[in-house]
Structure 1
């Protein structure tokens, strides 16, 4: 009898132990599930916050480079302009203020009755690279469809962050190639290749880029080997130096908002001669592509469609991305 009682007691003990273990396992599983749900929620919040910060940073970095104003510091804007005109060797494709027009018609010719978009750029500038990588394809489509004239303003103050005068050499290549190759797709393709994320050197990285490497970017864009190999990397350096003195003194290029208000930074964009405030993009919650299309008076489905002309025309004020007016 004692043995039977002991066996019964042992079975009950084992059953109680199993029940306790099962209860503990269930509690652990429920706690783990709760923690996973919390981690999922936290992860989603973190991803959302990071996405917003990246978007804001992407816009802010466009404004990250102030053009040097130390060169010719004592000169007035008129004196700096006069010095620019005195440079003996000027690019034949550039106007008196340093603009190089690229349109559906080629280099140096404008399409009638469409807006002109000016872009002030430096090949070393990371902000310019970000802007090009975000908006270059849209600008190219607009140019090729005859919807805008694009006016390029290369600068070279970015040599400050380069060990090998990258900005100066790259700007010289652009100018001398544009004098020989009038195909807009080649010129804009070269710019896109120069700003490619896996090609543009980071500022202060110490990375050196050879002339041949840059020429290969032109050849990849369709420029002939003959033209690319003959392009100069120093022919217009004196002119670029004068541009770097003149542009930062032009009040029409000064930021109208943000931490650099009252200074010129790159990239700078103007539409029909009106300053286009990229700082407003974050307020409007727009990308640069959306903002450009809106400001020109187009819709996304009209971009790159020949005959669909921007509503602001050749002289209208760009439409505000914040007010729609």
Structure 2
């Protein structure tokens, strides 16, 4: 939020939590997350930041398959108190610090963990993988099988992410 004037990070992360809690199709959430980090959408940080209206986020969620009612409610700052606590404490967690790249030893976004183990998105970027592709590879499931009955990730609730 410190790099925007319109609580963009709170709206997006709260929207992700809301969609995850209210939409039963995980493909919708994954598609939405992939879209917000795409080069055509993700706003510039710092002095070049331009406000992103809720309508743009709603459209992106709906394009990802999220129902109208859910998309229209998702970005209304339902989780601000929780987000403030998370933002205060999470950057101090060394398990979330980058293990490679120019930000090694620091936490950046997006940060993804599987069973408490960091998915190295810097390594994914170096291999020209987008975040969704990296997450699915780390879980050991092909994109075409996400949300399909009978297809489970290779990673169990006890194992660490697969190597990229």
Instruction: State the TM-score, normalizing by the size of structure 1.
Output: 0.40
Q: In the alignment, what sits opposite 2:98?
A: 255
Q: In the alignment, what sits opposite 2:109?
A: 266
Q: In the alignment, what sits opposite 1:190?
A: 32
Q: What SS is found at the alignment partner of 1:266?
A: coil
Q: How many residues align?
A: 157
Distance 1:197 1:287, change over 3 A: closer
Q: In the alignment, what sits opposite 1:304?
A: 144
Structure number, greater radius of gyration: 1
Following superposition, the deviation at residue 225 of structure 1 comes to: 2.0
How far apart are the structure 2 equivalents of 1:254 and 1:233? 29
Aligned equivalent of 2:84, options 234, 241, 244 = 241
Q: In the alignment, what sits opposite 1:155?
A: none
Following superposition, the deviation at residue 296 of structure 1 comes to: 5.0
- 1:26-45 matches, within 5 Å, as none
Matched, 1:206 2:49: yes
Distance 1:287 1:189, change over 3 A: closer
- 1:1-325 matches, within 5 Å, as 159-204=1-46, 205-280=48-123, 286-288=127-129, 304-305=144-145, 307=151, 310=154, 313-320=156-163
Following superposition, the deviation at residue 164 of structure 1 comes to: 1.7
- Considering fraction of residues, name the structure with more strand: 1
Gaps of 5+ in 2: none
Q: What SS is found at the alignment partner of 2:113?
A: strand
How far apart are the structure 1 equivalents of 2:143 and 2:68? 32
How far apart are the structure 2 equivalents of 1:206 and 1:319? 35
Instruction: State the TM-score, normalizing by the size of structure 2.
Output: 0.72
Instruction: Say whether the 8 Å CA contact 2:57–2:75 is kept in structure 1.
Output: no
| Cα RMSD after superposing both structures | 3.2
Q: What SS is found at the alignment partner of 1:198?
A: coil
- Higher RCO, 1 vs 2 (CA within 8 Å, ≥6 residues apart): 1
Deviating more after overlay: 232-241 vs 189-198: 189-198
